[in-house]
Every structure is written in structure tokens, then in C-alpha cells.
């Protein structure tokens, strides 16, 4: 039922790898706790905070569409 509408994938891990920035440096610049970054990297965040998304995009100089991807349900 929950996936009837599709899912949103967070690409923070890929963006960090691409940038070459360490997670520690990113945590400091984005003012995020390491556990929070881990959850975003592992796509285990249930509620995405828009201020956090803005900080991530600002620090990594990326667009929101680089960070978040909507994957529609295959059942529709």
C-alpha cells in the first residue's frame, strides 16, 4: 500500500562521492549530525526537512533534482 504512489530516492551518498568531500567536512558545512547524514545516505529518512535539503544543496552546489528522485510505482 505505501508504495502505491512510488518512492523518493535520496542521492546524497552518490553526490558526496562525486564531490570528493568527506562526510565529516560535509557534516560541519551543512550543520548536520553524522547520524543524520548516514540516514540520508542510506535512504532511511521518513520525513525530509526542507531546510536540511536547502543546506545540502547549498554545500554541494547541486540542484534539488540532483538530490531527490521520484520513482513511480510499477503497478500503475
d(CA 25, CA 22): 5
23-74 pLDDT tens trace? 999 999 999 999 999 999 999 998 999 999 999 999 999 999 999 999 998 8
pLDDT number for residue 55: 98
pTM of the complete model beyond 0.75 = yes
Buried b (16+ CB within 10 A) or exposed e, 7-42: eeebbbeebbeeeebeeeebbeebebeeeebbbbbe
**pLDDT average, residue stretch 10-15:** 98
Beta strands (DSSP E) in the chain are 7-10, 68-71
pLDDT number for residue 76: 54
Domains of the chain as residue ranges with CATH? 2-71 (1.10.260.40)
Helix (H, G, I), strand (E, B) or coil at 36: helix
Amino acid at each position: 500500500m505505501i508504495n502505491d504512489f512510488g518512492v523518493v530516492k535520496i542521492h546524497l551518498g552518490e553526490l558526496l562521492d562525486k564531490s570528493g568531500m568527506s562526510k565529516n567536512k560535509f557534516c560541519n558545512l551543512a550543520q548536520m549530525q553524522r547520524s543524520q547524514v548516514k540516514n540520508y545516505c542510506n535512504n532511511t529518512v521518513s520525513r525530509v526537512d526542507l531546510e536540511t535539503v536547502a543546506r545540502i544543496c547549498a554545500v554541494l552546489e547541486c540542484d534539488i533534482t540532483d538530490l531527490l528522485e521520484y520513482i513511480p510505482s510499477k503497478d500503475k
